[in-house]
Amino acid sequence: MLEGINMIGDLEWEVPIGYVPDMRVPGRFFLSRALAETLEEGAVRQLANVATLPGIVKHSLAMPDIHWGYGFPIGGVAAFDMTEGVISPGGVGFDINCGVRLIATPLTEADLAGKKRELIERLFSAVPTGVGAKSALRVSNKDLTAVMVDGARWAVERGFGTGADLVRCEAEGAMPGADPDAVSAKARQRGVPQIGTLGAGNHFLEVQVAREIVDPEAAKVFGIAEGQVCFMVHCGSRGLGHQVATDHLRTLESALAGYRIHLPDRQLACAPIDSPEGRAYYGGMVCAANYAWANRQVIMHEAKKVFAELFGIDYDAMRLIYDVAHNVAKFERHDVDGASTEVCVHRKGATRAFGPGAPGIPREYAGVGQPVIIPGSMGTSSFLLHGTTTAMQKTWGSTCHGAGRVLSRSKAKKEVRGKELREHLAGEGILVRAHSDSALAEEAPEVYKPSREVVRVVHEAGLSNIVVRLEPLGVIKG
DNA sequence: ATGTGC
């Protein structure tokens, strides 16, 4: 499996130029020997294929949750020169700005005693879940334009949360450069009824407890203590983001020949960053990213209302720690050969992990680096980490995003019984609420790489450091 | 991930 790949450090591997034809730079990925057993050759080939794209800078990178994706591997990170380089939907993913936010409540596990079932049921009622889930919100087409431009701020201005939430979101909950004209009528149509809905697949809203404080000083800065009940929202841009990706992939595929870009894989469809097609994709992608931030903002607000009502606690006593994007392309300044240079960083199933003092992270967290939130798979621990200087130097300020699938959905359904899984988790005190047991089987912990091991690798490689381990108490899913 | 698959 690792034939033709060189180990260049305890946890660092290099895919040399020549692994596939026309590579411009080497590939690099971070992986332990234990995880190397699950490494797919196809994912390594995808990593190498990315290295053939015009204008790629330094390396084609992948995090330890690397697995086979559309064009780019999931867990992939790649930066492109602003003049020579390209932008590619395959480097972002279909679920644009799929991401996670973590909220600390003033409750302890003991406060939940006897009320956990009711909490999960109420959350399930308050937050629409599942494929095609519809929102209770009435949103006009004009409102949708504002959502796509203003992101989380749109939600706050309509009473879903408070202004303080915004500074605790990556990009403050809205990237600049939204181009509503780059979002098709079909994408709009799919987006209008879905603001404030969770979706399906590995998306979830989970009630957790901060079980283990690994870095007490950073935990204090992030405002989280041992035994504290938290909740985590994992979702993205729903049908709108999917449609934006689909629409622009088609346009970019047909524009390829005009730019004389030759690809080893059509799924790498792309265009120069500063071309009509490249700019249009970027503008549409930003709209979807901002939609996702508004979506998570509304969901958090509804969940906070449930906690406030059920436990008689103050709405404002629940505090957003941070919100991170897992699937997005951004223009950022990084060190390239000793000079601060703007590049287009694609993160596809990867989390920004800016270190202490880096621009663009909340002032209150500047001393420790940005919070990095890594969700576990169902029934397993999630982690709060902080970004590092090493990540700035090695991975464009990036780290992993979670576990990575090892069994396909169809195989999972054959090998796992959803009902047994639900009962097993209940036995461990983890309540699961979903529309069907069959949907649960696809998300069973055993169909994913162990997130603990993935997180251990990024911690030991210095790409981000563990602050808190969180254990699930209950979860709602699609 | 996705009004789930050409």
pLDDT at A439: 85
Strand B lies under 7 A from the Cβ of residue A98: yes
Q: What is the pLDDT of residues A245-294, one digit of tens each?
A: 999 999 999 999 999 999 999 999 999 999 999 999 999 999 999 999 99
Residue A401 annotated to the active site: yes
Strand B lies under 7 A from the Cβ of residue A122: no
Residues in chain A: 478
- A380-419 core/surface letters (b: 16 or more CB in 10 A; e: else): bbbbbbbbbebbbebbbbbbbbbbbbbbeeeebbeebebe
* CB neighbourhood size of A364 (10 A): 12
Burial of A130 (0-12, 13-18, 19+ CB in 10 A): middle
Q: What is the pLDDT of residues A182-217, one digit of tens each?
A: 999 999 999 999 999 999 999 999 999 999 999 999
Query: Which residues neighbour A414 within 8 Å (Cβ) at sequence distance 6 or greater?
Result: none
Amino acid at A411: K
CA–CA distance, A228 with A109 (Å, rounded to integer): 7
pLDDT at A12: 97
Q: Is the pLDDT of residue A299 over 90?
A: yes
In the structure, how far is the CA atom of residue A45 from the C1' atom of nucleotide B6, in angstroms? Answer: 26
First to last CA, chain A: 35
Distance of CA A140 to the CA centre of its chain: 28
Nucleotide whose C1' lies closest to the alpha carbon of residue A202: B1
Strand B lies under 7 A from the Cβ of residue A132: yes
pLDDT at A401: 96
pLDDT at A437: 86
Q: Is the pLDDT of residue A409 over 90?
A: no
Q: Is A326 annotated as a binding residue?
A: yes
* CB neighbourhood size of A14 (10 A): 16
Q: Percentage of residues in chain A with pLDDT exceeding 90?
A: 90
Strand B lies under 7 A from the Cβ of residue A201: yes
Q: Is the pLDDT of residue A391 over 70?
A: yes
Q: Is the pLDDT of residue A412 over 90?
A: no
Question: At CA A285, angle to CA A90 and CA A400, rounded to 5?
Answer: 55
Average pLDDT over chain A reads 96
CA–CA distance, A182 with A451 (Å, rounded to integer): 36
Nucleotide whose C1' lies closest to the alpha carbon of residue A98: B1
Q: Is the pLDDT of residue A1 over 70?
A: no
pLDDT at A2: 80
Q: Give Rg (Cα) of chain A.
A: 21
pLDDT at A357: 96
CA–CA distance, A233 with A302 (Å, rounded to integer): 11
Q: Is the pLDDT of residue A346 over 80?
A: yes
Band of pLDDT at residue A447, cut at 50, 70 and 90: confident
Using the C1' atom of nucleotide B4, identify the protein residue whose alpha carbon is closest.
Answer: A131
- Minimum mean pLDDT range among A17-31, A140-154, A350-364, A431-445: A431-445
Q: Is A148 annotated as a binding residue?
A: no
Q: What is the pLDDT of residues A308-331, one digit of tens each?
A: 999 999 999 999 999 999 999 999
Band of pLDDT at residue A237, cut at 50, 70 and 90: very high
Strand B lies under 7 A from the Cβ of residue A478: yes
Using the C1' atom of nucleotide B5, identify the protein residue whose alpha carbon is closest.
Answer: A410
Q: Which nucleotides of B are covered by protein (CB under 7 A)?
A: 1-4
Q: Is A80 annotated as a binding residue?
A: no
Q: What is the pLDDT of residues A112-152, one digit of tens each?
A: 999 999 999 999 999 999 998 999 999 999 999 999 999 99
Question: At CA A329, angle to CA A174 and CA A275, rounded to 5?
Answer: 105
Q: In DSSP terms, which residues pair with A298 in a beta bridge? A: none
What sign for the dihedral angle of Cα A283, A289, A291, A293? negative
